[in-house]
């Protein structure tokens, strides 16, 4: 039946690089997302806690140390920090609070949805919109009986940032994708469910909309954009070089005395920088300074004592 429904829906689906994603019209009945690759193969992916719901708790900061991830939780609701304990989080979400956080008979009345959407008072404020795909996924998961990922399901091996590095001009943007790779060889785009963080927002920042858009700042330099999905991390190195161009021959003719020089020149090339023409050398000498005597009791006398010793040693 599902295959017939997918076949009848192809006329209304958009294709991109021979990839079509078909959302079944009776999605509530099947409790899954129907994903069709190409024209003949259809794979039904069921929404589960570990793969689809728990990553959203990290994506929206619910299990952060400042919220429900703290040691005592928040307002009686505790989650493991950044989702490291799936069993604990599932029990807290589904079994505790007399089953009010997840209410399968009326998913839209579940506390987890009403608080996250701001329909009920929530210390963390509104986290998702009622008309968002995040809301629909969680509601579908609840309606389906809050299933967990099967023990024999393919294991997540790693997540990969695409691209792994990117050079931008100031104020330029690019889409960053996060791909999850599983033990059976299949890959899945998990950009929307990933949490992002930049180590230098003045150089490069990540959109808060969850679409993976990276924007360069106005300050040249380097930044690392971290993507987290299910306790796996991928990093994209972003570079904003100095304005202008430097001839290739300039870097090729730089002196190389050892392998370190070659690495330094490559880094300067990426940043569009040149070494200083004048090399400034500094002479450092060990200065032995005796302890001040007992008569240096005032700040002025102590300052004069050390200044005299330092001047005498230079």
Residues 6+ apart with CB under 8 A from 293: 305
- Overall average pLDDT of the 270-284 stretch: 59
Q: pLDDT-derived band of residue 224, with 50, 70 and 90 as boundaries?
A: very high
Sequence ranges of the domains in the chain: 2-46, 49-143, 156-240, 283-314
Strands, DSSP E only, in 39-176?
Answer: 41-46, 156-162, 165-167, 173-175
pLDDT at 183: 95
Q: Is the pLDDT of residue 285 over 70?
A: no
Q: For 132-145, how does the pLDDT look when each residue is reduced to its tens digit (9 = 90+)?
A: 999 999 999 999 99
CB under 8 Å to 278, separation ≥6 — which residues?
A: none
Q: Where are the beta strands (DSSP E) in 163-265?
A: 165-167, 173-175, 177-182, 187-189, 195-198, 204-206, 213-216, 221-229, 232-240
Cα distances (Å, whole numbers) of residue 223 to 33, 148, 242, 265, 268 = 36, 37, 14, 19, 15
Binned at pLDDT 50, 70 and 90, residue 211 comes out as confident
The model's pLDDT over 251-275, given as tens digits with 9 standing for 90+, comes to 888 888 888 988 888 888 888 887 6
Task: Give the angle subtended at the CA of 134 by the CAs of 55 and 88, to the nearest 5°.
Answer: 35
Lowest-confidence segment of 85-94, 228-237, 255-264, 296-305 by average pLDDT: 296-305
Of the candidates 147, 132, 133, 143, the residue with the CA atom closest to the CA atom of residue 49: 147
Kindly report the average pLDDT of the chain as a whole number.
79
Residues 6+ positions from 149 with CB-CB distance below 8 Å: 48, 49, 50, 51
Strand 213-216 and strand 19-20: the pairing is: unpaired
Percent of the chain with pLDDT over 90: 46
Average pLDDT over residues 94-99: 85
CB 67 within 8 A of CB 74: yes
Token pair listed for 169: 């001009």
Mean pLDDT of 186-205: 93
Instruction: Classify 225 in phi/psi space as left (phi over 0), alpha (psi -120 to 50) or beta.
Output: beta
Domain 156-240 = CATH 2.60.40.1080: yes
Tokens, residue 281:
């050398």
- Reported pTM: 0.67
In the predicted model, is pLDDT for residue 199 greater than 80? yes
Q: What mean pLDDT comes out for the span 227-250? A: 89
Q: For residues 134 and 128, give the distance between their C-alpha atoms in angstroms, rounded to a whole number.
A: 7
| Separation CA 227–CA 236 (nearest Å) | 8
- Amino acid 131: pLDDT: 92
Q: What is the pLDDT of residue 6?
A: 37
Give pLDDT, residue 157.
95
- Residue 3: pLDDT above 50? no
Model pLDDT for residues 29-75, shown as the tens digit of each residue: 334 443 333 333 333 468 999 999 999 999 998 988 889 988 888 88
Give 12 or 153, the one with higher predicted confidence.
Answer: 153
The closest alpha carbon to 178, from 203, 213, 154, belongs to: 213
């Amino acid at each position: 039946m599902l295959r017939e429904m997918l076949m009848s829906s192809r006329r209304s689906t958009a294709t991109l690089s021979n990839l079509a994603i078909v959302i079944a019209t009776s999605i509530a009945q099947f409790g899954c997302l129907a994903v069709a690759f190409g024209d003949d193969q259809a794979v039904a992916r069921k929404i589960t806690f570990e793969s689809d719901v728990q990553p959203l708790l990290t994506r929206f900061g619910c299990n952060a140390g400042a919220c429900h991830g703290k040691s005592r939780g928040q307002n009686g609701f505790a989650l493991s920090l950044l989702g490291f304990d799936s069993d604990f989080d599932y029990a807290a979400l589904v079994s505790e609070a007399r089953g009010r956080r997840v209410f399968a008979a009326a998913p839209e009345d579940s506390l987890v949805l009403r608080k996250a959407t701001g329909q009920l008072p929530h210390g963390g404020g509104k986290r998702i919109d009622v008309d968002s795909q995040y809301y629909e996924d969680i509601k579908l998961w609840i309606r389906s009986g809050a299933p967990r990922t099967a023990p024999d399901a393919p294991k997540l091996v790693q997540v990969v940032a695409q691209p792994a590095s990117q050079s931008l001009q100031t104020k330029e943007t690019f889409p960053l994708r996060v791909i999850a790779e599983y033990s059976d060889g299949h890959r899945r785009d998990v950009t929307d469910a990933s949490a992002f963080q930049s180590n230098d927002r003045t150089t490069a920042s990540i959109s808060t909309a969850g679409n993976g858009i990276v924007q360069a700042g106005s300050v040249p330099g380097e930044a690392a954009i971290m993507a987290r999905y299910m306790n796996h991390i991928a990093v994209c190195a972003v570079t904003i070089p100095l304005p202008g161009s430097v001839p290739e021959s300039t870097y090729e003719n730089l002196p190389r005395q050892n392998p370190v020089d070659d690495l330094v020149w490559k880094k300067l090339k990426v940043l569009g920088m040149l070494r200083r023409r004048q090399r400034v050398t500094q002479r450092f000498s060990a200065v032995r300074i005796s302890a001040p005597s007992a008569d240096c009791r005032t700040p002025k006398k102590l300052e004069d004592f050390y200044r005299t010793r330092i001047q005498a040693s230079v």
